[in-house]
C-alpha cells in the first residue's frame, strides 16, 4: 500500500527561470519542439483499487466482430503506402472492436539507418497524447473536491499572481482558453523543473485575453502538470504512474527523463525523425533522454495497446471493469464540446478527414462532432505532433490507434478519411468514384515553384466525394465552388484555385492566395535540386538578440543549412527562389535571405509568414 510522500524540493520548486528574450532562437526552436487527491487520501484510494483488474484485450477475427477482412487489408495497404511514398518512416496500427483486437500490424522502420524494422508493441513518444492523461488527473482532483473548474492558478503558482495572469482558471487551461501562448520555451533544457517552467509561464503572461478564444497551448498544459504536483504533494511522474497508469494496467507507458535513465523499457523506444516527404532525418535516439523533467503537455512514452487501455476506461464511461475510476460528472465535463478547435498557432479551422464532422475541444480531449450542430459527438481522442493518433467511436465500440515516429506527418488525417470510407461510411466509396469520374480531367500532379515550394508536386484528387488538393507536407484540402466558379479551400476560404484549359485538356492550375496568383503547370516534377555554386560566401556566424547565442550557416549534405545551439539537427534550406530567399525544409513558411555589400555577405534576414523580418549581422 502506497504512503503519502513529502514534497521533493528538488523536483517541485517555486523558482522560475528568466523570460524569453531571444526571439530568433525561439522562432527557430519552435519549428522542432512545437507536441491529486489520490495521494492525499491515498490509503482510501489505494484500498479501493486493490482488486482492480486492468482490461486485457483478446484477439478475434474481423468477421466475428462484424468487419470484413478486405476492408482491413485496404487500411493496411494505405499505411504501407505512406511508408512506400516516404510520408512516414514507420508506424504501428491497431484496431479494436468490441474489446477485441482485429488488426495489429507494424510498418516500415523503427531505426531506418540501422535497418531495424518497426515491430509490434514498440514504445513511441506520445507527445500530445499525454494531455488527455494529464486531464484525467485533473478530473480526479475535481472529483475529490481538491480543485474546481473555477480554481485560479494564482492560488497555487506565484508566477501567476499578477494583473495579466491572475484570473486564469483551471477550466481555461483544460479547454485551451487561458490565452497563454503555445510555449514559452526556446529549448527543452531551458528550465530545471516543471514548477520553474510554470512560474515563468505566468510571469510571461497570456498572449490573448483569457477566455476570449481557443488557442492551443502547451504552456497551459505544463501549468496543469504543475498544479497536480502542488495539490498532490508528489512529482508529476509519480502521480501519473501510481494513480493512473498502474490501475489501468498501462505497464509500458512511462516518463523518460534525467531521473529515469535506468528504466529497461527505454530500449523499446523508436528513434525519432523530422523532415518531411522523402526528407526524413533522424534527430533523436533513446540512448539519451529528450526531456529534462516530466511535463504536462508531452513527455510520456507508451505503446498503442497501452493507450487503448486508457481509452477503454473512457469508452466504458469511467469504469475499470466493475469499479468506477472517474465519476459520471468527470466524463461529462471532459467529453462535452466547449468550443470549435483551431489549428496549432492559428485561428484556421482544425483539419480533419472525417466525413461531415468538425473538430471541437472538450477538456483535454478532441471531440469530432456533427458539423451541423456540434452537439452530437461521434469520435473522441487526441493527436500528437510526432504523428501519434488515437480515435474512439463510442457508438460503435471501436478504437483505432495509429502511431508513427515521423514528426509533423499529416498522414493520420488522410487515414481518417480512409477509415471513414472503409469502416464507418461505406457510401463514401461510391461518392469518391463518382467524383473521380466527374473531375477526371482535373486530377493529377501540378508543379509548384513559388514561395516555399521547389519542384513540388501538388496533387489534385478527391476526398469525401469532393475535389481536393493534396499539398506535400501539409494537408489534403477539400474544395467548394463559390459563385464566381473558383474553388476555395473549405478550411481556408482565402485560398482558391482555378484551372487553365487548352480545349478539353487541363494545362495548369492557378492558385490565388492573399491577392497573389501562382501558376502550377500540370506534369511531373524534376527530382534534381539546383543549388548555386557559390554557397561558400554565405557561411559564417550570425548574431542574435542574445550575445551568448549565435547562429551558424554551414553546408550539410551539399545543402546550405542553419546550426542553432541546443538543437539536435541542422536545419536544411531549399535552393533560393527568384527573390533570393532560402526556405527552411523543416518549415517552408519561414525563409532566410542575405544582404550583400561590396561583394560580401553583411547580414542574414529571417522572414516570417506574417511578413515580419529580423536582420542579424554576420560576425564571423
Find all residues with CB under 8 Å of 205, minimum gap 6, and list them. Answer: 162, 164, 165
Q: What's the mean per-residue pLDDT of the chain?
A: 89
Q: What is the pLDDT of residues 426-445, one digit of tens each?
A: 999 999 999 999 999 999 99
Instruction: Tell me the pLDDT band of 28, cut-offs 50, 70 and 90.
Output: low
- Please report the beta strands in 112-166, taking only residues with DSSP state E, as ranges in sequence order: 116-117, 124-125
**CB of 428 within 8 A of CB of 421?**
yes
Q: Identify the pLDDT of residue 528.
A: 66
For residue 526, pLDDT over 80 is answered with: no
* pLDDT for the residue 531: 81
pLDDT of residue 473: 85
**221 vs 297: CA distance, rounded Å:** 5
Give the model's confidence band at 588: pLDDT under 50 very low, under 70 low, under 90 confident, else very high: confident
- CA atoms lying within 13 Å on the CB side of residue 36: 26
Residue 51: pLDDT over 70 = no
Stretch 52-62: mean pLDDT = 85
Q: What is the pLDDT of residue 376?
A: 92
Beta bridge partners of 104: 94
More confident residue, 26 or 99: 99
Q: Quick one: three-class SS letters along 606-619?
A: EECCCCCEEEEEEC
What pLDDT sits at residue 527? 62
Is residue 338 scored above 60 in pLDDT?
Answer: yes
Collect all residues with Cβ–Cβ distance below 8 Å to 180 and sequence separation of at least 6: 168, 173, 201, 206, 207, 215, 217, 219, 220, 223
Residue 93 in this model has a pLDDT that exceeds 60: yes
Q: Which pLDDT tens digit goes with each residue over 272-298?
A: 999 888 889 898 999 999 999 999 999
Q: What is the pLDDT of residues 112-145, one digit of tens each?
A: 999 999 999 999 999 999 999 999 999 999 999 9
- Percent of the chain at pLDDT exceeding 70: 91
| 205-237: pLDDT as tens digits | 999 999 999 999 999 999 999 999 999 999 999
DSSP string for residues in 302-354 = E-HHHHHHHHHHHHTTTEETTEESS-HHHHHHHHS--EE-B-TTSSSBPP--S
* pLDDT (mean) for 553-563: 90
* pLDDT in the model for residue 16: 37
Amino acid at each position: 500500500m502506497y504512503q503519502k510522500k513529502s514534497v521533493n524540493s528538488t523536483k517541485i520548486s517555486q523558482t522560475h527561470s528568466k523570460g524569453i528574450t531571444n526571439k530568433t532562437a525561439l522562432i527557430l526552436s519552435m519549428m522542432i519542439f512545437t507536441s491529486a487527491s489520490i495521494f492525499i487520501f491515498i490509503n482510501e484510494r489505494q484500498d479501493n483499487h486493490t482488486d482492480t483488474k486492468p482490461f486485457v484485450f483478446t484477439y478475434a477475427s474481423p468477421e466475428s466482430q462484424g468487419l470484413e477482412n478486405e476492408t482491413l487489408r485496404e487500411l493496411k495497404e494505405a499505411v504501407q503506402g505512406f511508408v512506400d511514398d516516404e510520408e512516414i518512416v514507420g508506424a504501428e496500427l491497431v484496431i479494436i472492436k468490441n474489446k477485441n483486437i482485429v488488426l495489429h500490424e507494424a510498418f516500415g522502420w523503427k531505426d531506418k539507418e540501422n535497418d531495424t524494422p518497426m515491430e509490434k508493441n514498440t514504445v513511441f513518444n506520445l507527445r500530445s497524447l499525454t494531455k488527455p492523461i494529464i486531464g484525467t488527473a485533473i478530473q480526479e482532483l475535481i472529483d475529490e473536491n481538491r480543485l474546481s473548474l473555477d480554481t485560479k492558478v494564482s492560488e497555487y503558482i506565484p508566477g501567476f499572481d499578477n494583473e495579466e495572469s491572475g484570473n486564469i482558471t483551471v477550466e481555461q487551461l483544460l479547454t485551451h482558453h487561458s490565452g497563454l501562448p503555445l510555449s514559452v520555451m526556446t529549448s527543452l533544457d531551458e528550465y530545471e523543473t516543471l514548477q520553474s517552467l510554470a512560474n515563468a509561464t505566468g510571469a510571461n503572461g497570456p498572449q490573448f485575453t483569457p477566455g476570449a478564444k481557443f488557442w492551443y497551448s502547451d504552456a497551459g498544459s505544463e501549468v496543469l502538470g504543475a498544479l497536480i504536483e502542488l495539490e498532490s504533494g508528489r512529482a508529476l511522474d509519480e502521480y501519473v504512474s501510481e494513480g493512473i497508469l498502474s490501475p489501468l494496467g498501462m505497464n509500458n507507458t512511462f516518463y523518460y527523463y534525467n531521473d529515469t535513465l535506468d528504466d529497461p523499457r527505454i530500449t523499446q523506444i523508436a528513434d525519432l525523425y523530422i523532415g518531411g516527404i522523402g526528407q526524413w532525418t533522424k534527430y533523436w535516439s533513446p540512448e539519451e533522454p529528450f526531456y529534462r523533467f516530466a511535463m504536462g503537455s508531452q513527455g510520456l512514452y507508451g505503446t498503442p495497446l497501452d493507450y487503448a487501455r486508457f481509452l477503454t476506461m473512457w469508452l466504458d464511461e469511467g469504469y475499470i471493469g466493475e469499479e468506477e475510476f472517474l465519476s459520471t460528472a468527470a466524463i461529462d465535463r471532459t467529453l462535452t464540446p466547449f468550443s470549435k478547435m483551431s489549428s496549432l498557432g492559428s485561428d484556421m479551422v482544425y483539419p480533419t478527414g472525417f466525413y461531415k464532422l468538425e473538430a471541437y475541444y472538450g477538456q483535454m480531449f478532441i471531440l469530432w462532432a456533427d458539423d451541423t450542430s456540434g452537439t452530437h459527438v461521434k469520435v473522441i481522442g487526441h493527436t500528437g505532433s510526432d504523428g501519434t493518433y488515437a480515435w474512439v467511436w463510442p457508438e460503435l465500440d471501436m478504437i483505432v490507434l495509429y502511431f508513427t515516429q515521423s514528426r509533423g506527418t499529416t498522414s493520420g488525417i488522410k487515414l481518417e478519411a480512409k477509415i471513414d470510407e472503409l469502416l464507418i461510411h461505406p457510401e463514401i466509396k461510391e461518392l469518391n468514384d463518382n467524383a473521380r469520374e466527374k473531375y477526371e480531367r482535373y486530377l493529377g500532379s501540378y508543379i509548384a515553384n513559388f514561395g516555399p515550394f521547389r519542384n513540388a508536386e501538388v496533387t489534385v484528387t478527391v476526398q469525401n466525394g469532393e475535389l481536393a488538393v493534396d499539398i506535400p507536407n501539409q494537408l489534403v484540402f477539400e474544395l467548394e465552388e463559390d459563385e464566381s466558379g473558383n474553388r476555395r479551400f473549405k478550411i481556408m476560404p482565402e485560398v482558391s484555385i482555378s484551372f487553365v484549359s487548352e480545349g478539353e485538356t487541363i494545362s495548369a492550375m492557378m492558385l490565388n492566395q492573399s491577392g497573389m496568383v501562382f501558376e502550377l503547370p500540370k506534369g511531373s516534377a524534376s527530382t534534381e535540386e539546383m543549388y548555386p555554386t557559390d554557397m561558400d560566401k554565405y557561411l559564417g556566424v550570425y548574431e542574435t538578440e542574445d550575445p551568448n547565442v549565435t547562429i551558424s550557416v554551414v553546408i550539410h549534405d551539399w545543402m546550405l543549412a542553419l546550426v542553432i545551439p541546443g538543437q539536435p539537427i541542422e536545419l536544411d534550406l531549399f535552393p533560393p527562389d527568384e527573390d533570393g530567399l532560402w526556405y527552411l525544409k523543416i518549415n517552408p513558411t519561414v525563409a532566410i535571405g542575405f544582404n550583400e555589400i561590396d561583394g560580401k555577405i553583411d547580414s542574414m534576414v529571417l522572414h516570417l509568414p506574417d511578413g515580419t523580418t529580423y536582420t542579424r549581422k554576420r560576425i564571423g
